[in-house]
Structure formats: C-alpha cells, structure tokens
Amino acid sequence: MRTLNTLLIVSFLLGSPLATQQQASPQVNATFIETKAQRDRRMSWWREARFGMFIHWGLYAVPAGEYNGKRSDRIGEWIMEWADIPRADYEKFAGQFNPVKFDAKEWVRIAKDAGMKYIVITSKHHDGFAMYGSKVSNYNIVDATPYRRDPIRELAAEAKKQGLKFCFYYSILDWHYPAAFVDAPGKNPTAGNRTTKLRPGGKDEYVKYMKEQLRELITIYDPAVLWFDGEWQDWWTEADGQELYHYVRTLKPDIIINNRVGRGRQGMQGMSKTDQEYAGDFGTPEQQVPANGLPGVDWESCMTMNTTWGFKFYDDKWKSPEVIIRNLIDIASKGGNYLLNVGPTAEGLIPAPSVERLAAVGKWMKLNGASIYGTTASLFSTQLKFGRATSKPGLVYLHIFDWPTDGALRVPAWGKTVTKAYLLTTPARSLKFNKSADGVTLQLPAQAVDPIATVVVLETK
Ligand code: H79
C-alpha cells in the first residue's frame, strides 16, 4: 500500500493523469504537489549553473589502477571488479588510505576558479565505502582509516563558504554489503561485479541501510543534489526508485535528484525513456553529448578529463583544454549541464594535469562566462557550421570554433532581427553586419581572438 501510494504521489508530481484522483486524498504529502512553476524554481540554480565538478574519491585511489602487478585500461574505481578482489582484501586499502594532503579550501578554489558552480562528490561508490563519518556502518573514512577524519564535512562547509553548491553521488550497487554477493562464473562471490544478487530478505535490510545513510547525508551535509548510480541491478525496480525519490524529497523538498534513482535511464545515452513517467529530475548522459537537446528536458553530461573517474597513476590520455572548453560550449548550446570529473589521489591531491586543464577552462570562462551561465539552447534549427550558439532573452551568443578565412561570418536566419553585434570581450566596438533574406553576414577581425572559441554577441528584437 505504501509503495502504491508513493507511486501515485510521484505520478502526480510528474504530471500523470493519476494526479487529479490523488489530489483530494489526505495521504498526499503536500510537499510533493509541485506545479511547473514550483519545479522551475527548484531547478533554477541548477539550470543557471551549467558547469560543475564531479569528484570520484574513494579507497580505489590506493591501488590507483594496479593490483598485484596487474594494470588495466578499465576505469580505476572498478578495480574491485576487474582485478576480482575479494571483499576481505579490498578492505585492507582502508588501512592505507591517509589523505594528509587533503585541503578542502584548495579543492573548492580549483573548482571555483574553473568557473564551476557546484561540486558532486562520491559519498559511497560501488565499493560500498563511505567517504564520510557514517554511524550506520564502520566501513567509513573516520572509523576504518588512519586519517580518522571526515573530509566531507570540511568540503561541504568550504563549498558553501565560497558560494558553490555541494552535492552527493551515492551508489545503489554496493559490493561490500553483507547480503550482496556475486554469482558469475569464475568470479569471487565477494568481489566487485557489474551485477550482484541479494540473499533472501537482504533487500529490505539493504534498502533500510541506504535510507539511513541518505538520512545522514542529507541531515548533516545538506546537499543540493543527490546523484544516484548503479541502479541497473535486477533487484532494483522503478517502484523502488520512485519510493526512494519520494523519501529523499521528503527529507529535503527542494533537493534535485538524477534519473538513476529509478530505472528510466537509457544506458550510457542517459536520457529517460518516454514510455511512462520515471523518477528523477534530470537525464544523465555519461561520457557523451547528445546529438541534440530536448526542449523542456533537463540533463547533464558527465565526463572524465582522461579515461578514468577514480585515480589511476598511469592514465595519461588527457583531453586538451580545447576539447574540454568546446565540450562545455557544445553542451550549453544543447541546453545541458557539464559535470567534469577529477579523481584525487589517496594523498588527497587533485592530479596536476587536471588542475592545469581546469585553470585553462577558468581563464576562458572569466572572459566568456556570460555566454554560458544562465543561457538556454541554441535557437538555430540546425547546428552552425562554424561553431555553436546559446541564447538569453534578446541575445544570441555565437561561439566561433572555425574562423572564416575571409573574415565574413555567415549566420543563418532564425526569425529574429539583429540590432547590434560585438565581440563579447570588446562590447564597445560594434561589428559591421549585412542583412539578407537568409540571415546576416558579420564582418569579423581577420584573425580569431581566441582560437579555442571566440564569442560574438548579437542583440536582437
Ligand atoms: O561513477 C562512474 C562510473 O564508475 C560509473 N558511472 C560513472 C559516473 C559507471 N558505472 N558503470 N559504468 C560506469 C559502466 C557500466 C555500464 C553498464 Fe549498463 C552497466 C553497462 C551495462 C550495465 C548502464 C546500465 C549502461 C547500460 C545499462
């Protein structure tokens, strides 16, 4: 009955036809009756922000991609899976996890100077280890490591102090929970695996455990987003996801929750299926950018800067600053957010190549941030040949990737009249432009101002 009620409540929230029947029921939790205006208000800081820092930090930073001499091109935080490490052996990494160089102020500074507006950190990844001082399990950083401190407390306080939103990642898949086991040929039953099973009766117990941890995370650290993952287990259903969504929103009504809380997401493409309403506030493409945005759909692409989320000491396949900045622009032009990952070391340091790249993004954002923050998707019907576009009421920002050799930039029509054009960095100097039936042609300087992306502002009416 409880599950059914929850379903009805969530359906109501998400605007399904069940809503009207349920509205009069006294069982409806008033905090969940949400109009479009209320939802827009709840989502507004997130839509404005456009750019956040993902932090994958956990025990996997100790082996850092190598176990008993074995390396892999797989992701570092999955080492318990690909190196087939039994629980009892993996636990030993806790004894070696002592991030004495962790500096919350410095981490937040790095994010802030990059132009990021929020931080999402792993509270617990698939390995089940809590990176905060959980009272529910002693498999946590305070009780199980020589560090004996809660870095998350400092990070949460520092993020708020420096004006960034603080958010949590939480994995539904848990390789350490006693009732969970691996049932796959040739695999250790207590190692990591893509899928786990739960012993009879284990699910209720585990859901209770997750809820207690989530209550700690919300009441102690007051996160702005809960970013679930590992939801693809056979034992996790959409009804479970809706119930968990409801639970978290009850603890904090204005929190934002990703679509991996339930079973709506379509694989790594990440947007929610549309055959029914699914729990979750935004889609989660992983390591990719959708070909197009979808009007009215909130989404966030998460990506790594090299090829791993959790630290691997030998992964040196770094994306260039140009690729990273253009990804940010590409995503904004399609109406999405960019959640860009760092994988700190077991000593507590964000790797230097990441810091350098973030500084380059910050340098670009300092000059061009107005073309990203608070913008909405491109208004053009097709993707621009020379780059990308974002918009604000009465304004269009053109991001030029490929500078025209003759300095003449042909911009297709989109139904608005251009009244003024200038480079974002030199607003006092207007650019000449000619109108024609199929758009406008702008007269640009001979050379690109910024070879990564020069921004032109068009004022329109
Ligand atoms: O935390 C990082 C990774 O450890 C985690 N997500 C990011 C944010 C991650 N989990 N899994 N993977 C990455 C790759 C696994 C993909 C698959 Fe599936 C799981 C393939 C099949 C099951 C997801 C669900 C994609 C298709 C169905």
- What does the pLDDT look like over 237-276, one tens digit per residue? 999 999 999 999 999 999 999 999 999 999 999 999 999 9
Nearest ligand 1 atom, CA 284? 8
- Pocket probe for ligand 1: among 56, 75, 120, 131, the residue whose CB has the most ligand atoms within 8 Å is 75
pLDDT at 368 over 90: yes
Q: Whose CA is nearest to atom 14 of ligand 1?
A: 268
Closest C-alpha among 166, 247, 237 to residue 210: 247
Output the pLDDT for position 32.
Answer: 63
> Which tokens belong to 434?
């000619």
Write out pLDDT tens, residues 313-350.
999 999 999 999 999 999 999 999 999 999 999 999 99
pLDDT tens figures, 49-62: 999 999 999 999 99
Segment holding 356, helix H or strand E: helix 352-368
Using a pLDDT cut of 90, give the percent of the chain over it: 92
At 294 the pLDDT is 87
Work out which ligand 1 atom sits closest to the CA atom of 195.
22
Residue nearest to atom 6 of ligand 1 (CA): 229
Q: pLDDT over 70 for what percent of the chain? A: 93
Q: Tell me what pLDDT residue 31 has.
A: 42
Q: Which two tokens stand for residue 285?
A: 């493409």
Q: Residues near 35 by Cβ (< 8 Å), separated by ≥ 6?
A: none
The DSSP output letter for 83 is T
Using alpha carbons only, how large is the chain's radius of gyration in Å?
A: 23
Cα(267) to centroid of ligand 1, in Å?
8
Span 160-219, pLDDT tens digits: 999 999 999 999 999 999 999 999 999 999 999 999 999 999 999 999 999 999 999 999
- Of 232, 235, 261, 284, which is best to mutate to test ligand 1, by the most ligand atoms within 8 angstroms of its C-beta? 232
C-alpha of residue 230 to centroid of ligand 1, in Å: 7
pLDDT digits (tens, 9 = 90+) for 390-449: 999 999 999 999 999 999 999 999 999 999 999 999 999 999 999 988 999 999 999 999
Residue carrying structure tokens 């009892």:
88
Residues with CB under 6 A from ligand 1: 56, 75, 77-78, 194, 229, 232, 267-268, 286, 302, 309
Per-residue pLDDT band at 293 (split at 50, 70, 90): confident
Query: What's the confidence (pLDDT) of residue 437?
Result: 85
User: To test the ligand 1 pocket, which listed residue (53, 194, 225) has its Cβ within 8 A of the most ligand atoms?
Assistant: 194
CA of 285 to the centre of ligand 1 (A): 11
Q: How long is the chain? A: 461
Q: What is the mean pLDDT of residues 90-117?
A: 98
Nearest to 62, CA basis, from 104, 106, 101, 92? 92
Mean pLDDT, rounded, for 112-117 = 99
Contact call for residues 366 and 325 (beta carbons, < 8 A): no
